[in-house]
Chain A
């Protein structure tokens, strides 16, 4: 079955440093979504990437979808303490109405 690998599993950064998490799928994806989960909370949708090579930005967050639509990354510039949480990628293939989540990257920001 489809597998979505995500690294790193944990990341500690000093406030102001940059952060990147990477996702890699075993199969070509129709789209990839990113979610953020705050400690004790539930996953909340951040963004969706659909096109090969697509790059999207949300303030300090930059999302990329690979040319082969099998990998993606989330980059946060100049992290803040509000960025603390776990970031998940979720890949979807075809129209089967289900997505496969990566294991998540837990980000800790040290003030």
Chain B
């Protein structure tokens, strides 16, 4: 079955500390992986995506993610968290074709403490 697992429901990080959000996937075909961020009551904003090539991808707002095929993981990282990073983060997997929907994980809520 195709699925995305985000093991951490809620994470609290001190401002300035590093962050890692975990994502594991199960997908039958070659996975195309995404991380989105959602602020309360808002739509989703793409942070970064992995299609192929370099397994370490850089995104917006200082985020990066590393694709590890052997571990079926695509963890999101940021070296220094800012208070404005507090939001809901979703990992998603999809097929290469545009006609297929993305499958989302349940999300991780990030809180940032001062």
Chains A and B form a bound pair: no
User: What is the interface of chain B, defined by CB distance below 8 A to chain A?
Assistant: none
User: What is the interface of chain A, defined by CB distance below 8 A to chain B?
Assistant: none
